[in-house]
Amino acid sequence: MKKLSARRRHPLAAVVVLLLALAATGGLYAAFAPAGKAQADDTAQSLAIDEGKKLYSVGCASCHGTGGQGTTDGPSLVGVGSAAVDFQVGTGRMPAQQPGAQVPKKPVIYDQAQIDQLAAYVASLGAGPITPTESQVDPSGADVAKGGELFRTNCAQCHNFTGKGGALTDGKYAPNLEGVSPKHIYEAMQTGPQAMPSFPDSTMPEQEKKDIIAYIKTVNGDETASPGGLSLGGLGPVSEGLFGWIFGLGGLIAIAVWVAAHTAKAKKS
Amino acid sequence: MSTVTDTKRKAPAGERVADWADGRLGIYGLAKANMRKIFPDHWSFMLGEICLYSFIIIILTGVYLTLFFDPSMSEVVYHGSYEPMQGIQMSAAYASTLDISFDIRGGLLVRQIHHWAAVIFLAGMFVHMFRVFFTGAYRKPREINWLFGFLLFVLGMFTGFTGYSLPDDLLSGTGVRFTQGAILSMPIVGTYISMFMFGGEFPGTDIIPRFYSVHILLLPGIMLGLVVAHLILVFFHKHTQFAGPGKTNKNVVGMPLLPVYMAKAGGFFFLVFGFIAAIAAIATINPIWGIGPYRPDQVSTGAQPDWYMGFAEGFVRVMPGWEINLWGHTLVLGVLIPLVLFGVVLGALALYPFIESWITGDKREHHILDKPRNAPTRTALGVAWVTIYFVMLIGGGNDIWATHFHLSLNAISWFVRIAFFAGPVLAFIVTRRICLGLQRRDKEKVLHGRESGTIKRLPHGEFVEIHEPLGPEARYALTAHEQYEPLEVGPTVDENGVERKPSALQKLRARLSRSYYGEGNQIPKPTAEEYKEITSGHGHH
Amino acid sequence: MSSQEIPEEGLPAEQDTAHGAVKVADDPFADPGLPAHKPRIQDIDERAAKRSERTVALMFTLSMLATVGFIASYVIFPVDKIVFIWPIGHVSALHFSLGLTLGAALFLIGAGAVHWARTLMSDVEVADDRHPIEATPEVKAKVLADFADGARESAIGRRKLIRNTMFGALALVPLSGVVLLRDLGPLPEEKLRKTLWAKGKQLVNMNTNQPLRPEDVTVGSLTFAMPEGLEEDAHDFQTQIAKAALMIVRIEPDDIKDKQSREWGHEGIVAFSKICTHVGCPISLYEQQTHHVLCPCHQSTFDLSDGARVIFGPAGHPLPQLRIGVNSEGNLEALGDFAEPVGPAFWERG
């Protein structure tokens, strides 16, 4: 185990992980791609809707209404589409625990199959954005630089230059995008969860969404290089100023105390 | 002539060089006065050195950066080695900063040393200035040096601002945009100044080259002159010292420049440089590659200036949006008032020494420093000022505090609005009380001695803590400070029975003097009689 | 203390600090004078002094090694090599090694020098006298007399014509410098009032560079547009986009409270200037549920469903709205320029 964790930091480890991940992604895709088609099968679809409805009435109906029409506690789900459900439930935001300025990200309580069933049920209430496929959200081969430009035009105003998040009005906030899966980023752009506006394909085509995802993964991932050392949260001058005061000036004052202090005297001469 | 050749033959090489220089520069005269100059030892006297050395570091690294930086706003398409910017259109200034960061070996290190040193330079000046303030070191004869230091701080802010704007990145460009908006708010001349400054409409293509010449030439040139003047005055006035045995207003006690301070101060330069280099190795500052090139239609959240402009940012952020439209003109109070406050708050600091010396009427030289507690009103005013400053600094980063402490942005803005008025008042009252408490404790200590921690049981069973009397050194140090009497307006009738009316200014002065030195605003020092009575009469309770 | 001994008017009795150690013997608060110097271990123990010497020499030696390390790092590490250093993260190997070796090389010189000073150089405290800064009355009288002589010899007081014309000349000559600054920039004229928008200009999506169609813009979405014909590589792109940047949202027409705002839009699609009216940041933190848009710079908040009215923060007036319609090709187009200047307010704005 110890050896493994030591090697984990090897420069080649990233390459190995990447290869494994690519192989796994490819394998999974091969396994599930035909299944996707099979889901078009009417009976399977209606089965999923039935299962989803059951899950819905237990977990969601109290706020969103028994038929998804919405109540004072939750908005109508008619027409939000499966992508919205996949995002909200898949990131743990739904079911919401308590009212507040904004529903935060939490540990996910449903498995992906259940989420898909819920999504199928909600999608059946009215047409809306559909959960994207693996290939739709796969950022490999995307134009990172173009993604960066799009990100700065469309996203950075709320999510910060490299997606570290930021404040909105009255306690709302745009979350940090680190570690968010490409699919969920894609769905968020597509559906506009909570305060976030949507960026539909009509104004931001699929390829551009991929570019943006590729940019986020490049500048705000676990492996993102910070060539100059600690990134200090990537928040800009506030954290830099704090660091400069506390560690920079603080350290120098500590040194000054040493320089100016009287040297220890011999006890008794 | 013959004697000169005689010594030349005998003297060692070093002396001959010194002779040569003395014949042209008179260095022996200078050295006689300064070589064994005495400097007192106290860590807080080295804060100014931190500033001086970081200034030198900034100049050294800055010169290096100019070798690679291209201060041009002409648009280029990036093809350097930073992948996520490939093919992006940007200004040559931004592209060359990317090159410094990614393609020039050690360029990133020098850039980061430069920027960290700037952050520390300003923080150092702030702390140095308040060391001087709280110890009253700005009093006569050092008022002019206080102003020089103040100017250095203000010029440092603007040098910093023009410097971090040079890379023409999205964050600093937003700051320049703010500056332009603020200039526009100035009545009558705003639009003209903006057009002249930017060579036309914002952003145009002139502002970076212009900032460049201001940043590398104009401001640092003035600052260098001020630094030299500041140091000459420090040498000329000789350093202040804290009260203590053997330390009087007429001497300075410490160790000589040669060799001790040559080694300590010289060594400290290397310590500061080495430490900042290590910080630059460890922590990123201003990663412009992640920020992107400036475009006036793009922005990022968390748009803050570097810390020293943060308090101005705070004023701007929490100001209500007042705007007056009259007779076809707009008075943009929402921006103008913060601009004025920025000047007023800083200006108050510059003027304070003159105000205080007017209140005290004291025209003597002061070389013994005050302990902050012994000048409660001054200390309280200083803390009130610092409170305003830091409240506004919080305001300037309100969005970052909001996200990191899960608070509402609007609530923080409201907090800052209220704290701007209430904070300094509260800080003033609390600080003065603490100072007076400490004065009382000093008096206790002098009269009754130091609590030894040894508990003694008296014959009748009572436990008492033994108070050890202070030695003469400690007694002296705790009583050496001066205490002013409050000024009186004086009799309203003079000796000839003629009524004299004190002017409003005199009355104000008397009132201020009372609030500085009046009853309850300082604790009278123990007198020799009090001391003798207690020590002779076993006055322990 | 010399001549300034006697303070003016109500100045308090002076304290005894200035009088130093010369004091009545029975004053309990008298200055006992400089304490006697106590030797350090190094002063009395040669072995301790030797240890200090070795420590200092070791620091200087390590500094030399660090400089060698610096040069070696410069040569060894390629500029783009990234390594993982716990706990800092994925850093540039070159940057990190250069910084640490340079830091060590400098720091050790300083530490060595200071250790030397602290342990081996004399630490006897000595007192140096201060002298009053003010000149003695004799010096002052001499200087004033010299000045009077000089002034008299120049005849500046007598020949007033020379004096006055000289002052005039000196006062005027800096004007040339001020005049030279005139060409720093053009006059404002109408520049701040006009943008590239004009009647018939199509709204071009900044993402796709294609004209926007009303059906592209869904409720709850956020889109940015620029006027057709503006190219990113045009020489004045930055200056034009700084005024023309447009933010487009679609709100259910019934939710739009401001009647004019609704009419200036198209079926609930409303187009506002992206440039904040406070100091000009591109404002666009749009919260689609409340239709509030927040400025990331100074937190001015505008309600897009109510004519972009200011509801919080330092902005003084609403975001200007661009009047839009649909042209014959079914694309969104401007029906004119903004009715008022975009961006920050200024004196002549009115």
Verify whether the Cβ–Cβ distance C127 to B204 is below 8 Å: no
DSSP states of A26-90: HHHHHHHHHHHHHTTSHHHHHHHHHHHHHHHHHHTHHHH-TTS--BTTB---TT-HHHHHHHHHH
Rounded CA-CA distance B259/C113 in Å is: 11
Query: Is residue C107 situated within a structural domain?
Result: yes
For A134-147, how does the pLDDT look when each residue is reduced to its tens digit (9 = 90+)? 888 998 889 999 99
Do A112 and A45 fall into the same domain?
A: yes
- Residue C161 and residue C233 in one domain: no
Answer whether residue B192 shows pLDDT above 70: yes
* Domain hosting residue C91, numbered range: 41-119
Chain A residues with CB-CB distance to C212 below 8 A:
203
B15 and B151 together in one domain? no
Do A125 and A137 lie in one domain? The reply is no
User: Would the pLDDT of C16 be above 50?
Assistant: no
Q: Final residue of a domain: which of A113, A131, A149?
A: A131
pLDDT at C97: 97
pLDDT digits (tens, 9 = 90+) for B414-439: 999 999 999 999 999 999 999 999 99
User: Are residues C330 and C208 part of one domain?
Assistant: yes
- Are A106 and A180 members of one domain? no
* Whether residue C242 is found in the same domain as residue C330: yes
Contact C30 B472 (CB under 8 A): yes
Q: pLDDT tens digit string along B75-132?
A: 999 999 999 999 999 999 999 999 999 999 999 999 999 999 999 999 999 999 999 9
Mean pLDDT of B439-458: 88
**Per the CB < 8 Å rule, is A240 touching B307?**
yes
Whether B411 maps to a domain, the answer reads: no
Do C170 and C250 belong together in one domain?
A: no
Inter-chain residue contact A204 with C84, CB threshold 8 Å = no
Reported ipTM: 0.91
Q: Same domain, yes or no, for C232 and C328? A: yes
Contact check, Cβ <8 Å, B403/A170: no
A246/B contact by beta carbon, under 8 A: no
Whether residue A205 is preceded by a cis peptide bond, meaning omega within 30 degrees of 0, is no
Higher pLDDT, B501 or C255: C255
A88 and A152 in a single domain? The answer is no
Percent of chain C with pLDDT over 90: 82
Q: How far apart are CA B232 and CA B253, in angstroms?
A: 19
Instruction: Indicate whether A78 and A145 sit together in one domain.
Output: no
Residues A140 and A217 in one domain: yes
The reply to whether C211 falls in a domain is yes
Chain C residue numbers with beta carbons less than 8 Å from the beta carbon of A155 are: none
Q: Is residue B262 part of a domain?
A: yes
Closest CA of chain C from B462, distance in Å: 31
B18 and B58 part of one domain? no
Q: Is residue B493 part of a domain?
A: yes
**Same domain for A139 and A123:** no
Q: Identify the residue among B113, B332, B500 best suited for mutation to test binding to C, counting C beta carbons within 10 A and taking the highest.
A: B332
CATH number at residue A100: 1.10.760.10
Residue of chain C whose alpha carbon sits nearest to that of B57: C106
- Categorize the per-residue pLDDT at A28 as very low, low, confident or very high, splitting at 50, 70 and 90: low
In a domain, B210, yes or no: yes
Are residues A50 and A75 both part of a single domain?
A: yes
Tell me the per-residue pLDDT of C39-84, one tens digit each, with 9 for 90 and over: 999 999 999 999 999 999 999 999 999 999 999 999 999 999 999 9
Residues B49 and B17 both lie in one domain: no
Is the pLDDT assigned to residue C211 strictly greater than 50? yes
The residue range of the domain holding B173 is 40-370
Partner-chain residue, chosen from B84, B124, B299, that has the shortest CB–CB distance to A157: B299
A233 within some domain: no
Structural domain contains residue B425: no
pLDDT in the model for residue B322: 92
Q: Does A103 contact chain B (CB < 8 Å)?
A: no
**Residue C23 confidence (pLDDT):** 44
Q: Do B201 and C191 touch (CB under 8 A)?
A: yes
Backbone angles phi, psi at B81, to 5 degrees: -95, 0
Task: Give chain C's count of helices (H) and strands (E).
Answer: 8, 14
pLDDT at B405 over 50: yes
DSSP letter for each residue of C143-211: HHHHHHHHHHHHTTTT-HHHHHHHHHHHHHTHHHHHHHGGGGS---TTGGG--S--TTPBEEETTT-SB
State how far the alpha carbon of B280 is from the alpha carbons of A230, B161, C73, in Å: 10, 20, 16
Domain identity same for B27 and B99: no
Judge whether B215 lies within some domain: yes
Question: Nearest Cβ partner of B50 from A157, A240, A252?
Answer: A252
Could you say which of C91, C215, C312 has the minimum Cβ distance to residue A226? C91
Domain shared by B207 and B335, yes or no: yes
Q: Find which of A178, A231, A247, A259 to mutate to test the B interface (most B CBs within 10 Å of its CB).
A: A259
Neighbours of B208 (CB within 10 A): 28
Residue A256: is its pLDDT beyond 90? yes
* Among candidate residues B370, B391, B424, the one where a domain is terminated: B370
**Average pLDDT, rounded, for chain C:** 90
Same domain, B89 and B1: no
Between residues B383 and B500, the one the model is more confident about:
B383
Cα A93 to Cα A89, A113, A120, C136: the distances in Å are: 6, 17, 18, 82
Asked if omega into B141 is within 30° of 0 (cis), the reply is yes
- Tell me the residue range of the domain where A59 lies: 39-131
pLDDT at B433: 95
Asked if B194 has any chain C CB less than 8 Å from its own CB, the reply is: yes
E strand intervals along B257-412: 324-326, 329-331, 368-369
- C111 and C71 co-located in one domain: yes
Q: Of B354, B370, B386, which residue is a domain's last? A: B370
Query: For residues C332-349, b (16+ Cβ closer than 10 Å) or e, as one string?
Result: bbbbebbeebbbbbbbbb
How many helices and strands (H and E) does chain A possess? 13, 2
- According to DSSP, the β-strands at B241-242 and B368-369 are parallel
* C-beta of residue C17 within 8 angstroms of C-beta of residue B249: yes
Domain end among A131, A146, A172: A131
pLDDT at A7: 60
* Chains with at least 3 CB pairs less than 8 angstroms from chain C: A, B
Residues A51 and A87 in one domain: yes
Burial class of residue C219, CB neighbours in 10 A (0-12, 13-18, 19+)? middle
Residue C52 included in any domain: yes
**Of B186, B189, B176, B180, the residue nearest B215 (C-alpha):** B176
Assess whether B339 and B483 both reside in one domain: no
**Is B251's CB within 8 Å of C121's CB?**
no
Last residue of a domain, one of C183, C202, C237: C183
C106 and C210 in a single domain? The answer is no
pLDDT bin (cut points 50, 70, 90) of residue B51 is very high
pLDDT the model gives residue A4: 56
Task: Name the range with the highest mean pLDDT among A37-46, B162-171, C184-193.
Answer: B162-171
Whether residue A125 is found in the same domain as residue A149: no
Q: Are residues C214 and C325 in the same domain?
A: yes
**Judgement on whether residues C224 and C110 belong to the same structural domain of the protein:** no
pLDDT for residue C18 is more than 70: no
Structure tokens at C238: 């930055």
Q: Which of residues 225-284 of C touch B (CB under 8 A)?
A: 226, 232-233, 235, 237-239, 241-243, 245, 274-275, 278-284
Put the strands of the sheet holding C246-250 in their side by side order: C203-205, C222-227, C246-250, C269-273, C321-322
Q: Domain for residue B406, yes or no?
A: no
Phi, psi of B90 (to 5 degrees): -155, 170
C70 and C155 share one domain: no
CA B513/CA A89 separation, integer angstroms = 68
**Domain termination site, one of A75, A104, A131:** A131
Residue B47 has pLDDT above 50, yes or no: yes
**CB-CB: which of C118, C123, C222 is closest to A199?**
C222
Contact C208 A199 (CB under 8 A): no
Note the pLDDT of residue B357. Answer: 93
Give yes or no for residue A37 having a pLDDT over 80.
Answer: no
Residue A64 lies in a domain: yes
Residue A248 lies in a domain: no
Q: Which tokens hold the place of A75? A: 């908005």
Are B332 and B471 contained in the same domain?
no
Domains contained in chain B, number: 3
Q: At what angle do helices B47-66 and B262-282 cross, to 10 degrees?
A: 60
* pLDDT tens for each residue of A90-100: 999 988 888 78
In a domain, A23, yes or no: no
- A47 and A116 inside one domain: yes
pLDDT on residue B160: 97
Answer yes or no: is B409 within a domain.
no
- Establish if C17 belongs to a structural domain: no
Report chain B's mean pLDDT, rounded to a whole number. 92
Are both C148 and C112 inside the same structural domain? no
pLDDT the model gives residue B496? 76
Helix ranges restricted to H, A91-154? 112-125, 134-137, 144-154
pTM: 0.91
> What domain count does chain A have?
2
Taking residues A214-233, report their average pLDDT. 91
C221 in any annotated domain = yes
On whether the CB atoms of residues A241 and B286 are closer than 8 A, the answer is no
Q: Is residue C129 part of a domain?
A: no
Query: What is the Cα B329 distance to its own chain's centre?
Result: 39
User: What does the alpha-carbon distance between residue A253 and residue A259 come to, in Å, rounded to a whole number?
Assistant: 10
Residue C232 has pLDDT above 90, yes or no: no
CATH assignment of the domain containing B336: 1.20.810.10
Size of interface B-C (CB pairs under 8 A): 407
Selection from B51, B218, B59, B58 nearest residue B149 by Cα: B51
Instruction: Note whether residue C31 is domain-resident.
Output: no
Examine residue C12 and state whether it is found in any structural domain, yes or no: no
> Is residue A101 over pLDDT 90?
no
Same domain for B212 and B88:
yes
Q: Among the three residues B355, B370, B385, which one is the final residue of a domain in this structure?
A: B370
The pLDDT of residue B90 is 95
C286-310 tens-digit pLDDT: 999 999 999 999 999 999 999 999 9
A169 with A145, same domain: the answer is: yes
- Considering chain A, what is the average pLDDT of its residues? 86
C-beta separation of C192 from B191 below 8 A = yes
More confident residue, B281 or A75: B281
Tally of domains in chain C = 3
B63 and B29, same structural domain?
Answer: no
Instruction: Quote the pLDDT of residue C53.
Output: 96
Residue A247 lies in a domain: no
* One domain, residues C62 and C159: no
